[in-house]
Amino acid sequence: MVSAVQNEKLTRVGPGTPAGDLFRRYWQPAILAEEVPEKDGPPVRVRILCEDLLAFRDSEGKVALVDAFCPHRRAPFYFGRNEDGGIRCAYHGWKFDRHGDCMDMPTEPGNERMKSNVKLTAYPTHEAGGIIWAYLGPREHMPLPPDYEWMRVPHEFLHVSKTYEECNYLQALEGGLDTAHSSYAHNNNMSAKSDPRLLDKSPRLDVHPTDYGYYYVSTRNMGQGDTYVRLYHYVMPFQQMRGGIHEFSGARRKAPALDGHVWVPVDDETTFVYNWHHTYDSTTPIDEAHRIHTEVFYGRGPEDMIPGTYKLKKNKRNDYMIDRQLQKAKVYTGIVGINTQDFALQEGMGAIVDRSKEHLGATDHAIIAMRSMLLRAIDAVAVGGAAPGADPATHRGMRPYDDFVRAGEDWWAKFEPEIKAKW
């Protein structure tokens, strides 16, 4: 159980908060690259860790991430002009480049001292894996940009997307690290006979701390001594990586892909979930069928989004379009789409769940370990320590995996060749 004080420490992410100070030590997704597709194109509003910012791609093709408001009179830069290497305020014409330096101050002609002294808050960015990453922390502690395997995958083998979730990042992250709930929340065919999540609804968990966070092993009994084993990774501070999803249509068949999520706090009460999906190697491109499978499976295809947003049409205002007849006959929740099922339960807890009222069990071991790691990291950074897992050397070589293991077979010996990055 987490105390009320610890819950506050874990969930508040604004500037100057304990968790906010920790998270600002990591590079994290700010927007998708597709949101700023062209040089000198329209700017995009960004809110991350309770800060209101603006992103634009300048004349050199570099992406800027700056304060959303002009330092002159705090007019919104969103209505400004992205031109000739900088963003120009539509109110009085003050112009700034991606580094936050003032390029032009037409209302103060000849005042070079003022022009050189006025700075716009600007954060470093890094473009990789279809995402614009940002570092919002102290420059003296800025690590090298992240180098997860999925960021190195060529475009034709990678699919990335994002979805807006109306709750604190932590309960969303906890859902991603919780393997036991899939037996219930994601039971989409209650008559299925070969799905290990239905054959064994109480997985055994074994958590192994690492320098980037931990990996944990979930095992389920398939009968006759056979075991289904999934090796997940929790990567500090709020990423999950999991093995390729098996499809259970009467045969044990492996989908040739790996998946994961990064839960980035917009603020204390909302989150952007960045979703990545890539094939094992260069022999299996992500074709349109894989893209459709991923989007429909997780409930985040274009047809499922409110136009012009990254928000699901099925949401708490329409009870996620729950179908009670479907719930009786086939789908355990009555809600279609795994992503939507997660959102219904996580958002339904409230914006920030009161963890002091929980009663945790053995299948919550991975969640307990994650919270403890975050609390220790928060305390370490508060006294000048390093942020664990921020160095890309800690995470660039690993990957998740899952498979079936026969009776008497050593799962580690079988998995070891598969849990090393191949891109």
| Of 85-99, 309-323, 399-413, minimum mean pLDDT range | 399-413
CATH 1.10.3470.10 is right for the domain spanning 149-418? no
Q: Provide, rounded to the nearest whole percent, the portion of the chain with pLDDT above 90.
A: 76
Contact 149, 297 (CB under 8 A): no
Token reading at 398: 């690993």
Give the dihedral sign, CA 285/288/291/294: negative
pLDDT at 299: 47
Superfamily of domain 28-134, CATH level 4: Rieske [2Fe-2S] iron-sulphur domain (2.102.10.10)
> Has residue 316 got a pLDDT over 50?
yes
Contact 70, 94 (CB under 8 A): yes
Strand 51-57 and strand 44-48: the pairing is antiparallel
Q: Which of 377, 348, 116, 331 is nearest to 235 (CA)?
A: 377
DSSP annotation string for 287-303: -HHHHHHHHHHHT-SGG
Task: For the beta carbon of residue 282, count every other beta carbon within 10 angstroms.
Answer: 12
pLDDT in tens, 185-232: 888 888 776 677 777 888 899 999 999 999 999 999 988 888 999 999
Q: Provide, rounded to the nearest whole percent, the portion of the chain with pLDDT above 70.
A: 92
Q: Domain coordinates of the chain in residue numbers? A: 28-134, 149-418
> Has residue 176 got a pLDDT over 50?
yes
Q: What is the mean pLDDT of the chain?
A: 91
> Has residue 333 got a pLDDT over 90?
yes
pLDDT in tens, 237-281: 999 999 865 544 344 445 567 889 999 999 999 999 999 988 877
Name, in order, each residue with C-beta under 8 angstroms of 303's C-beta and a sequence gap of 6 or more.
none
CA angle 6, 10, 11 (to 5 degrees): 120
Measure the CA–CA gap between 244 and 262, rounded to whole angstroms.
Answer: 17
Tell me which DSSP letter residue 177 carries: H
Provide the H-helix boundaries in 321-392.
324-329, 338-348, 365-382
- Which pLDDT band, with edges at 50, 70 and 90, does 288 fall under? low
Helix and strand numbers, DSSP H then E, in the chain: 11, 21
- Which pLDDT band, with edges at 50, 70 and 90, does 75 fall under? very high
